[in-house]
Amino acid sequence: MNVVDRFLSYTKFDTQSDELTNMTPSTPGQMIFAQALQKELGQIGMTEISLDENGYLMASLPANTNKEVPVIGFIAHLDTSPDLSGHNVSPRIVKNYDGGYITLCAEENTVLSPEDFPELKKYIGEDLIVTNGKTLLGADDKAGIAEIISAMDYLIQHPEIKHGKIRIAFTPDEEIGKGAHKFNVKNFGAKWAYTLDGGEIGELEYENFNAAIAKITFKGRNVHPGYAKHKMINSIRIANQYAIMLPRWETPEHTEGYEGFYHLIGFEGSVEKTVLTYIIRDHDRDRFERRKKELEHLSRKINHEFPDCASIEITDQYYNMREMVEPVMHIVDTAAEAMKEAGIVPNVRPVRGGTDGAQLSFKGLPCPNIFAGGHNFHGRYEFIPINSMNKATDVIVNIAKITAQK
């Protein structure tokens, strides 16, 4: 089975994660998918296959050289985003893309156009896998899984390519920030690893956001509006006052590159009680800490005007893996060399998000991120060029080969 056939078969599994269940994995579809992959890994000849009760699937490809080679790993995640349905995904292949509009769903007039998504123009003449306009595709991260397994299958079928021991792992619940929470780094046993969870071809990332989530609760006091003067405290209005005190341009829609932001992701309230939920992101650790302090400062300002109205709870989610990867930068250099051997120009860039690799790096497993090849993740306009998937598979094989040579 080639990488495309694998990927298309994997999209049939509904593996959306759900942060409200408080279970691991958070949805049963992830375990069903993991069990199917467990069987496939045995069929292609992988060893030391294990699937634990939390949905973490691990396996080994034994070394085929007598040289002393570090154990390396490759990791992808089982779940797809809760942002859009992953049920009844019906992908199709657009052959020899001509640079024009791609109608995803005629009845709903859902069109993938180069005007809205100019990156399409990079893939004129290539075959693309697209959605039916009603669900996400799931290339994040089923493409990564397909690429890892295809690379392992290729190495098994080509023993002339010498490599050390390779460990692979597929994790649940990455999309809700819990993919690495119960990952057993000691049992995995790799010196370092790579997540296959990046976007377009060439992406190589060893920097990500520092991340936190903040919930600010505003207490109000409801009184009949006809008799409310000097009595009512409207928590919705106060919450709105708080929101507009934050810098207007430091939001996702106004930032790029290394620029951080405050992102209001939830606003729920009534006169009596309103809760704002923010995510805080910044690559620089000092600026990240200052952003958290700014939210606390604004809460105090609100309380100065409306005593005991605002309370804030901030929880760190993950940190920038750069500080853990920089001491072992040779692992990034190896990935860059592997891309060049595959005819790819490495695009080393910061992740404007996070990966399992960020948390794993702080658990003692340095873990840069490599492209899986997809675009427009988490939505109906998601697509992936087939050539990008083939190239990602080549990069994995090349990393194994180069690591053994060095």
Residue 240 parent element (H or E): helix 235-245
Q: Measured between alpha carbons, how far is residue 381 from residues 14, 250, 256, 376, 378 in Å?
A: 18, 26, 21, 6, 8
Q: Give the Cα separation of 56 and 187 in Å (integer).
A: 11
Catalytic residue among 14, 79, 203, 382: 79
- The partner residues of 215 in beta bridges, in order of sequence, read 277, 313
Catalytic residue among 174, 203, 207, 394: 174
Amino acid at 260: G
Reply yes or no on whether 326 is catalytic.
no
Q: Quick one: CA dihedral 308, 309, 315, 319, positive or negative?
A: negative
Following CA atoms 87, 382, 210, 283 in sequence, which dihedral angle do they give, to the nearest 10 degrees?
A: 180
Task: Characterize 203-240 residue by residue with b for buried, 16 or more Cβ atoms within 10 angstroms of its Cβ, and e for exposed.
Answer: bbbbbbbbbbbbebbbebeeeeeeeeeeeebbbbebbb
Q: Give the Cα separation of 145 and 77 in Å (integer).
A: 7
Listed in sequence order, the DSSP H helices in 316-385 are: 322-325, 330-341, 356-362
Q: Give the Cα separation of 279 and 263 in Å (integer).
A: 5
In the β-sheet with 347-348, what is the strand arrangement from edge to edge?
47-51, 57-61, 166-171, 72-77, 192-198, 369-371, 203-205, 347-348
Residue 30 contacts residue 14 (beta carbons within 8 Å): no
Q: Where are the beta strands (DSSP E) in 295-352?
A: 310-318, 347-348
Q: Is 174 helix (H, G, I), strand (E, B) or coil?
A: helix
Q: For residue 29, give the DSSP letter.
A: H
Residue 336 contacts residue 348 (beta carbons within 8 Å): yes
Reply yes or no on whether 268 is catalytic.
no
Question: Token pair 């691990």 is at which residue?
Answer: 58
Closest among 159, 202, 179 to 387, alpha carbons compared: 202
Phi, psi of 328 (to 5 degrees): -130, 50
Active-site residues, by number, are 79, 174
